[in-house]
Every structure is written in C-alpha cells, then in structure tokens.
Amino acid sequence: MKVLIDMNLSPEWVSIFKNEGWEAVHWSAIGVQSAPDTILMRWANENGHIVFTHDLDFGAILAATRADSPSVFQVRTQDVMPEVIGQLVVATLRKFSQELNDGAIVTVNETKDKVRILPI
C-alpha cells in the first residue's frame, strides 16, 4: 500500500506507515503546502497512492466528479496524532486494504468504520 498524507495530518504518520511496510509520503515533502486538494488528488491518482486525511473535501471531490480513484482514508476524530489513533488507523487500513486497492472511501472514528466503493 502507498499512502499520501494530507497537510492536515502530522508528518509523524510517515514512520507509522513505514513501520507497517507501507510506502508513505507527507504532502509537505513533495508538493506546495497551499496546493488545492484537487492537486493532491491528481498526484495520488497518478502515483498509485491512497489519500490519508482528516478533511471531508476529498470525499466531496470524488462524489462531484464520480471518479473511481484515488482511494481516500478519512479519520474523523478530535485527536489525530499517531500516538492516539495509530493502532486504530493501521487496523482499519488492514481491514479494508482490498477495497482501498480497488477504489473506496474509508471513514473511521473511535467507535465505527464505514466503506463506500467508488465511484459514489
């Protein structure tokens, strides 16, 4: 799995994902920090990454465009730091890895998770 981490999440997530054997990059390492979400989506799509975010805009973009990629993994918690939700995120990524590879939006919080297959 290859993960592009959105600007609204800490670069500390890179090491969490790499420790799981996944390729990961934080947007700040490859792109302009103020780039619109559409640019991140294009880069993720062209480079085979899923987008990891705390932002609802990515799902809205996928819905508006009826695109079938890239996949998006959204965390909907107050505290999005790896030391707080790292295990939850890793477990949910593993649970829905096939759906994310095929094209999906996965949303997770402390009590539930949800998957929607693309396009939506």
pLDDT per residue over 57-96, tens digit each? Answer: 999 999 999 999 999 999 999 999 999 999 999 999 999 9
Domain of 37: which CATH number? 3.40.50
- List of long-range contacts for 34-38, beta carbons under 8 Å, 24+ apart: 37/61
pTM: 0.96
Please report, to the nearest 10 degrees, the dihedral formed by the alpha carbons of residues 80, 81, 85, 87 taken in order. Answer: 140
Domain extent, residue 22, equals 2-117
4 DSSP β-pair partners: 25, 51
From CA 89, how far away is CA 66, in angstroms rounded? 26
Sheet containing strand 104-108, strands side by side: 23-26, 2-5, 50-53, 72-75, 104-108, 113-117
pLDDT tens, residue by residue, 4-61: 999 999 999 999 999 999 999 999 999 999 999 999 999 999 999 999 999 999 999 9
Give the confidence band of 104 by pLDDT, cuts at 50, 70, 90.
very high
**Number of folded domains that form the chain:** 1
Structure tokens at 20: 């799981």
| pLDDT reported for residue 46 | 97
**Torsion (CA) 15, 25, 82, 104 in degrees, nearest 10:** -130
